């Protein structure tokens, strides 16, 4: 893709823009020997650039893409890191994850006899009454407070891709015999 963005006009918002003669970074990579079909890159590129219609990418956008590609390849990284076996790096990553998991472990629940904090709350118009406390009561448990929401509030649903353990996938690929 680096060769592709060097030798082509790069556009956003389209695969090809006949008006400017530009192409998207994925097509540029494809024309320079890269084989990929990751549509998520195209969506992320267009979202990053804020493309609403096809246009040429700005110098800044292309420069940012270049720096992200170079950093993903490890250009300018510590040379000692390049000589470290992948299995050793995987073990280090797992150890760091375990340490982080131990630090971020959930705190134990408070004892059952601890009282629920209460707040004095005036009655709220259009509030949905709860079964445990009538809305006219001056002191209600914090958990029972209800806040009315506007009926026209937009609801956004984002579908998230399931997370894969990339480290395990890499180790599995390295363990496979090569032809």
The answer to the question of residue 61 being in a domain is yes
The answer to the question of residue 14 being in a domain is yes
The answer to the question of residue 177 being in a domain is no
DSSP-derived letter for residue 10 is B
Number of domains in the chain: 1
Nearest-CA neighbor of 131 among 149, 118, 150, 144?
144
Where is pLDDT greater, at 1 or 158? 1
**Phi/psi at 109 (5° precision):** -70, 150
pLDDT tens per residue, range 88-123: 888 888 999 888 877 766 666 655 555 555 555 555
- Residue 63 lies in domain: 2-73
pLDDT tens per residue, range 18-71: 888 899 988 888 888 887 777 788 888 888 899 889 999 999 999 999 988 888
The answer to the question of residue 64 being in a domain is yes
pLDDT for position 56: 92
| Cα separation, 75 vs 55, whole angstroms | 30
Where is pLDDT greater, at 55 or 172? 55
Q: Is the pTM of this model over 0.85?
A: no
DSSP-derived letter for residue 60 is H
pLDDT for position 10: 93
Average pLDDT of span 148-168: 64
């Amino acid at each position: 893709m680096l060769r592709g963005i060097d030798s082509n006009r790069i556009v956003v918002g389209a695969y090809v823009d006949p008006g400017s003669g530009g192409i998207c970074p994925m097509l540029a990579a494809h024309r320079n020997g890269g084989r990929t079909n990751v549509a998520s890159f195209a969506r992320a590129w267009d979202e990053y650039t804020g493309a609403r219609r096809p246009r040429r990418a700005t110098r800044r956008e292309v420069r940012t893409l270049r720096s992200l590609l170079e950093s993903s390849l490890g250009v300018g990284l510590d040379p000692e890191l390049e000589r470290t076996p992948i299995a050793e790096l995987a073990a280090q990553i797992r150890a760091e994850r375990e340490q982080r998991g131990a630090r971020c472990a959930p705190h134990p629940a408070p004892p059952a006899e601890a009282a629920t904090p209460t707040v004095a709350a005036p009655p709220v118009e259009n509030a949905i009454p709860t079964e445990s406390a009538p809305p006219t009561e001056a002191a209600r448990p914090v958990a029972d407070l209800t806040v009315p929401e506007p009926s026209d509030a937009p609801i956004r649903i984002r579908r998230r891709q399931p997370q894969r353990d990339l480290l395990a996938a890499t180790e599995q690929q390295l363990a496979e015999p090569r032809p």
